[in-house]
């Protein structure tokens, strides 16, 4: 699953990166701990040229009570043992909660990184997972819906992040799922109302693990009300070596060794 993520970019960065506008009515606040129930920026197929604020945690339009589907499994009820090599049917297209949305209510969910822990320890042993080479912001593949509260008649727009099998990085932290991160070249296709369902499901693949990395942080992130830069300060080494070229004759390798600061810029570990 993917239940926490980070987005701290300014409006102008999102506008340039995704080719959208941030309306004056939308107030973006940097967040180091976007948790279920919080409002977060999305770009939907219905309004592909602007940022909107939707609730993290999907309630399908037909439900009589609110729900919080924070994730939607690409495999649906298939692959119950979470085999990372699974390549069979994408059961999301038949799940009642998701089958309409996956066809006609898709969205991009901008993020800078996400938080996950091992399958057993969960956020008691959290990691920040990010894309290498400062590829941020990026976009999760998401689905959205609009639910009307039958008691108050309030309309609630909400979204879920689609997940799939674990890539190499997620396997290294002993987690069984990966959020679907779209390649930038696929983002417009994802929002296209004319995209065939076969092409939609083709995009539900794990992002290449060689293009990602992760490092441990303190379990303070478990508190959904906590939200400050200190939450993502490194508590240990990166799980894979990264090499940074600093001159023609020098290469600095980070992610291994015992240096006190673990090779990070402590004030800005994600380099944003």
HEC profile of the chain: CCCEEEECCCHHHHHHHHCCECCCCCCCCCEEEECCCCEEEEEECCCCCECEEEEECECCCCCCCCCCECEEECCCCCCCCCCCCCCCCCHHHCCCCCHHHHHHCEEEEEECEEEECCCCCHHHCCEEEEECCCCCCEEEEEEEEEEECCCCCCEEEEEEEEEEECCHHHHHCCCCEEECEECHHHHHHHHCCCCCHHHHHHCCCCCCHHHEEEEECCHHHHCCCCCCHHHHCCCCCCCCCEEEECCCCCEEEECCCCCCCCCCCCCCCCCC
pLDDT digits (tens, 9 = 90+) for 102-142: 999 999 999 999 999 999 999 999 999 999 999 999 999 99
Does the pLDDT of residue 94 top 50, yes or no?
yes
Mean pLDDT value of segment 62-67: 93
Distance in angstroms (rounded) separating the CA atoms of residues 144 and 93: 14
Task: Please give the share of the chain, as a percent, with pLDDT higher than 90.
Answer: 88
Is residue 257 over pLDDT 70? no
Fold classified for 4-228: hypothetical protein yedk fold (3.90.1680)
**Cβ atoms within 10 Å of 87's Cβ, excluding its own:** 10
pLDDT of residue 272: 73
Calculate the average pLDDT of the chain: 92
Report the predicted TM-score, pTM, of the whole model to 2 decimal places: 0.93
What does the pLDDT look like over 23-51, one tens digit per residue?
A: 999 999 999 999 999 999 999 999 999 99
């Amino acid at each position: 699953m993917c239940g926490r993520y980070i987005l701290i970019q300014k409006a102008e960065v999102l506008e340039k990166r995704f080719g959208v506008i941030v309306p004056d009515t939308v107030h973006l606040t940097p967040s180091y701990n976007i948790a279920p129930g919080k409002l977060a920026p999305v770009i939907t197929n219905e309004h592909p040229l602007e940022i909107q604020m939707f609730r993290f945690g999907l309630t399908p339009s037909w439900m009589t009570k609110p729900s919080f589907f924070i994730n939607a499994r690409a495999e649906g009820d298939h692959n119950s043992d979470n085999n990372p090599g699974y390549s069979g049917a994408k059961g999301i297209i038949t799940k009642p909660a998701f089958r309409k949305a996956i066809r006609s209510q898709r969205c991009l969910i901008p993020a800078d990184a996400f938080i996950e822990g091992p399958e057993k320890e969960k956020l008691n042993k959290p990691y920040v997972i990010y894309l290498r080479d400062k590829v941020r912001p990026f976009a999760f593949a998401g689905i959205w819906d609009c639910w009307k509260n039958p008691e108050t008649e309030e309309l609630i727009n909400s979204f879920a992040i689609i997940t799939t099998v674990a890539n190499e990085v997620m396997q290294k932290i002993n987690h069984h799922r990966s959020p679907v991160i779209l390649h930038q070249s696929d983002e417009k296709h994802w929002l296209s109302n004319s995209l065939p369902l076969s092409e939609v499901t083709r995009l539900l693949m794990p992002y290449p693990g060689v293009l990602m990395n992760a490092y441990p942080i303190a379990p303070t992130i478990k508190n959904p009300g906590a939200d400050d830069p200190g939450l993502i300060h490194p508590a240990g080494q990166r799980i894979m070596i990264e090499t940074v070229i600093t001159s023609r004759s020098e290469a600095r390798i980070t992610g291994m060794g015992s240096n006190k600061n673990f090779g990070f810029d402590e004030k800005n570990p994600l380099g944003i």
